[in-house]
A = this chain, B = another copy of it.
């Protein structure tokens, strides 16, 4: 496979995330620059950890898993220090219901294709850096105007059947593709799980796989 830089002809990178995922947030800050270096664009997809991890895999939430929970707190703090990220939200803060934010994302993706990536960034930023609770629809609505979206339409969209169905289908499709974590990337059929696999993804894109 030859280098794709600049060709723009290759399939996009599928980027799966849950807004409640701290590691998903960290990866969201890097994925587009990485994709662009290899002439790829990013296709953003919602998944839900509550479905994949708890229902399908039958695991406890990460922070409630003995030993691993403490490690994750430390690992996340280390990453934050390394990259000088100041976040209002701590891992142990109450976790929002991710569905309203995910539905809002689905609505933007369907109604305003091309704007879902900036919208996802705005949602991640508001939840993690500013520490806001996006299960409150007012918090979602506040993002509409800055992104040129109609606030009323967004509110209606979050509560409507279309976004509900889209989210359900997005989650089902993610599970069918074997997505079980956040972040999770699939490129040309090859899966990469976790923010700590992004360096390998970078090499994979550079070499055209191996």
Q: A67-B180, A70-B178, A175-B67 are in contact. Are A193 and B75 (CB under 8 A)?
A: yes
Q: Which residues of B contact A57 (CB under 8 A)?
A: 65-68
Report yes or no: B56 in contact with A178, Cβ–Cβ below 8 A.
Answer: no
A190-B190 Cα distance, complex, nearest whole Å? 32
A38-B200 Cα distance, complex, nearest whole Å? 23
Taken residue by residue from 186 to 201, chain A's Cβ proximity to chain B (1 for < 8 Å, 0 otherwise) reads as 0000110110110110
Residues of chain A having any CB pair with chain B under 8 Å = 52, 56-60, 65-68, 70-71, 74-75, 78, 81-82, 175, 178-181, 190-191, 193-194, 196-197, 199-200, 210
Q: Which residues of B contact A191 (CB under 8 A)?
A: 71, 74-75
Report yes or no: B67 in contact with A52, Cβ–Cβ below 8 A.
Answer: yes
Residue of B nearest to A199 (CB): B199
